[in-house]
């Protein structure tokens, strides 16, 4: 708490030199504080621009090394994988999320094979990249079904852990899914796989580009 007032209190004294600012600054950021998102597409030797994210691209798996190499060189400790699933692989229940040969699974295997544990891998757990309607869960009577969705999210989490994912990152916002995923991971001997939950989602334009990047934005209808 800052007490006092001018002229007895002169905050510029603390800002005068860089060494003084370093001593009192509240927060500092370094490459160790960041996670690099990587957006994936099918195919070979492709680099695809994302209109809502200028300077950010989707990459095919055989081009991942050029991104991961730079991440390691710059001291970034972890990458997060986000797939853009082909429309013909999407359906109402997002079954492609459970395919051992989907984009995310293949990318996990490739990164672990090439880099071992030089860099961590985080994987998004949600159904919106895989559903034809673009929502994070199963829909019945125009309403997202919480408990039925969790059953699929558990299977998705176990599959990603099996492939070598280090951090499971549920972004689906289903009530109760963190505890159930944790229990399922522990029961299947994945006690060392971590969970980083997205704590909240807002009606914010910051989320729009990510939905655009994974190809779910155009599928959404009604309230978003």
CA distance 88 to 28: 45
User: Which element (helix H / strand E) includes 75?
Assistant: none
Backbone angles phi, psi at 218, to 5 degrees: -70, -15
To which residue do tokens 């990587």 refer? Answer: 38
Cβ atoms of residues 125 and 108 within 8 Å = no
Q: How many Cα atoms are found within 13 Å in the side-chain-facing hemisphere of 159?
A: 21
Q: Is the dihedral of CA 136, 141, 143, 148 positive or negative?
A: negative
Place of tokens 């852990």: 161
**Which portions of the chain are predicted below pLDDT 70?**
1-2, 199-207, 217-224
Look at residue 201 in the predicted model and tell me its pLDDT: 58
CB 84 within 8 A of CB 214: yes
Q: How far is it, in rounded angstroms, from Cα 161 to Cα 94?
A: 18
Per-residue model confidence as pLDDT tens digits over 36-64: 999 999 999 999 999 888 999 999 999 99
pLDDT for position 11: 83
| The token pair that represents 86 in the structure block | 């082909």
- pLDDT score of 224: 43
* Alpha-helix residue ranges (DSSP H) falling in 61-145: 64-73, 103-115
Distance CA 13, CA 34 (A): 32
Strands (E) located in 77-151:
78-83, 120-125, 139-140, 143-144
CA distance 85 to 116: 26
Q: What would the two tokens of residue 142 be?
A: 């125009």
């Amino acid at each position: 708490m800052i007490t006092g007032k001018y002229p007895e209190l002169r905050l510029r004294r603390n800002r005068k030199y860089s060494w003084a600012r370093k001593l009192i600054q509240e927060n500092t950021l370094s490459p160790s504080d960041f996670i690099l998102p990587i957006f994936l597409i099918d195919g070979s030797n492709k680099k695809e621009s994302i209109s809502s994210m200028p300077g950010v691209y989707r990459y095919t798996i055989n081009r991942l090394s050029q991104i991961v190499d730079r991440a390691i060189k710059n001291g970034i400790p972890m990458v997060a994988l986000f797939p853009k699933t082909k429309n013909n692989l999407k359906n109402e229940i997002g079954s492609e999320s459970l395919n051992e040969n989907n984009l995310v699974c293949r990318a996990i295997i490739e990164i672990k094979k090439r880099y071992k544990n030089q860099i961590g891998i985080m994987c998004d757990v949600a159904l919106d990249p895989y559903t034809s309607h673009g929502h994070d869960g199963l829909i019945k009577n125009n309403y997202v079904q919480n408990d039925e969705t969790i059953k699929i999210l558990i299977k998705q989490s176990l599959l990603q852990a099996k492939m070598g994912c280090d951090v499971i990152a549920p972004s689906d916002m289903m009530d109760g899914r963190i505890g159930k995923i944790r229990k399922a991971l522990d029961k299947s001997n994945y006690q060392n796989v971590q969970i980083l939950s997205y704590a909240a989602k807002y009606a914010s334009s910051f989320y729009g580009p990510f939905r655009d990047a994974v190809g779910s934005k155009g599928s959404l209808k009604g309230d978003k």
